[in-house]
Amino acid sequence: MKVIKYGIVLIAIFILSGCNGIKPEIMKKNISINIPNDEIKKHPVILFFQGSGGNNSRANKWASWFEQYGIASVIIDNAGVRGLNKLYGVNYGSDLAPTLSALKDNLELDLSRYAVMGFSRGGTAALESASSLEKNQTSPDFVFSLYPGDSKGCPNSHNDTTKVHVFYGDLDDWGKYKNIIGSCKSMASWNDNTTFHLLKNAHHGYDGDWDGGFNCCNGNYFQIEANEEALINTQKIILKAIQRKWNIKKR
């Protein structure tokens, strides 16, 4: 895998904003591009949104998985572009537009075949990301929103050209406490472009490698736990979707 790492630029004016006005040249300094080493000239691509913790451990894990199918990854440092370490209380779905602008001249990326993927609050950002698209920018083929975590619910800004997949664990106590699971089920029932997937015996952050939790909301504790079976089931669903649309084959 070839990894192109751009440095982090601290931009204090964006600390409290959803990133209105982030310039493509600034965004370019806050993304990593992972391109498979193969004979393909232009690769389909996944764009990753961070969770509220502000790190890319899950994105890096998923990028390695996508690489075996000849798919490139663009990993966005949504926190770093704002001069932040964490993304609590920040709305950043609008990062999609400047990211696409920053990538438009990259000849190894096929932006006519791309998806957006996010985790927890980043899953919510992925669902909101179409509202930032400029007139000359193509809509994503897919959105893969894993346990969207923003307590405002489960939005969907994408039109019918984008297939949206929302994944939640049936043991996710954060999703239950904030009724995000119920909101996502309702959103999927209202939108023909959306499928909701409820995964058995899975907690928040089931696709990661860390078990623990966090405290919030008057001392409540919310579990985070890896679940290999739930991860594999998620991968199967995603692979089936992209194989059909992008004619993807394992290398």
Instruction: List, for residues 89-122, the tens digit of each pLDDT value.
Output: 999 999 999 999 999 999 999 999 999 999 999 9
Tokens of 192: 């023909």
Q: What are the extents of the domains in the chain?
A: 2-168+176-198+228-246
Residue 214: count of CB within 10 angstroms of its CB: 14
List the CATH code of the domain at 2-168+176-198+228-246. Answer: 3.40.50.1820
Q: How far apart are the first and last CA of the chain?
A: 13
Q: Which of 63, 137, 62, 53 is nearest to 94 (CA)?
A: 137
Distance of CA 177 to the CA centre of its chain: 22
Instruction: List, for residues 160-216, the tens digit of each pLDDT value.
Output: 999 999 999 999 999 999 999 999 999 999 999 999 999 999 999 999 999 999 999
Grade residue 1 by pLDDT with cuts at 50, 70 and 90: low
Instruction: List, for residues 204-214, the tens digit of each pLDDT value.
Output: 999 999 999 99
What does pTM read for this prediction? Answer: 0.91
DSSP tally for the chain: helices H, then strands E: 7, 10
Tokens of 174: 């954060």
> For the ranges 8-22, 136-150, 236-250, which has the lowest average pLDDT?
8-22
